[in-house]
Amino acid sequence: MQRSNPIRLATRRSPLALWQANWVADQLRRHEIATELVLLTSQGDTDQAPIDGTRGVGFFTKRIQQALLDDEADIAVHSLKDLPTEPQPEFHLAAIPPRAAVADCLISRDGSDFWQLPAGARIGTGSRRRCSQLLYHRGDLRVSPIRGNVQSRLQKLHAGDFDAIVLAEAGLTRLEMTEHTGQPFPLTMMLPAPGQGALGIETRADAETVRKVAALLDDPVTRAAVTAERTLLSHLSGGCLAPIAALSTPQGRTLHLKAVVLSADGRTQLAHQASGAIDRAAQLGVEVAERLLHHGAAALIAAAR
């Protein structure tokens, strides 16, 4: 498939966002598709205040999406976990490539693992999901917000601002910063955000030719897995900031979905899991969400806002 003009890929300027966009560009070049990057700055890159429920949705994605509408770019490259789940008819999620690692990692200043951290240790994370799960296991910890890219967060750790921080394993691996990987949390202890470790390649809904080009990178199994997770998140009306975690694991033609909803202080955790056919991923997400709602998830989510 060839085009006379390069495909323009919109991306944020952070090192991880640039890695992701360059990876997409490399994959398209394998299909003889020429590309060029359009470097943009999102609100989330300039506003370093803690993200809350009134100002966080689309924090990292709106500027990139606007580039599609303004014909600055043909394709937007997102971390899928940052992309809102609410329907946006002007856009089309054209491809979800194979997923990377989904775990979260604890990186401590002195090499301690999670259970070795001293009482009252200060942990840095910008995620309510991570915060609640940390406190669920150790209520003595002091969990504080941290913002910035991977490199700046590591600098704050080594400067002594925190005893440990939590980062996504996928980001560390993609940036080849495996010397900082630290201790990956077991998935039985710390579930990821819906869509964590996956990329979302988005186009305008009416851009049929570009949609076909982007679709070359789609992985149907990964799409099914994250569809279950994102449908669950949408059905819970949680948004990307609520203390909700989920992971869908493909096994042949079956998906196994596990999800938790927590209180902000981590003292209460609701969990449910179920399996279903891989071609009914959305229905599986709804099923697990309904069970969580039946047991009181809505109140926990509302209280965390």
- Residue closest to 193 by CA, chosen among 278, 117, 262: 262
Sheet holding 122-124, edge to edge: 142-144, 122-124, 164-168, 104-108, 183-184
Q: Is residue 82 annotated as part of the catalytic site, yes or no? A: yes
- Residue closest to 223 by CA, chosen among 246, 199, 202, 205: 199
The CA radius of gyration of the chain, in Å to the nearest whole number, is 19
What is the rounded CA–CA span in Å between residue 255 and residue 258?
10
Burial group, residue 282, by CB count within 10 angstroms (0-12, 13-18, 19+)? middle
> Tokens 């399996």, residue?
275
Q: Contact, 240 vs 56, CB < 8 A?
A: yes
Q: Which of these is catalytic: 45, 82, 104, 163? A: 82
What is the rounded CA–CA span in Å between residue 164 and residue 178?
16
The residues annotated as belonging to the active site are: 82
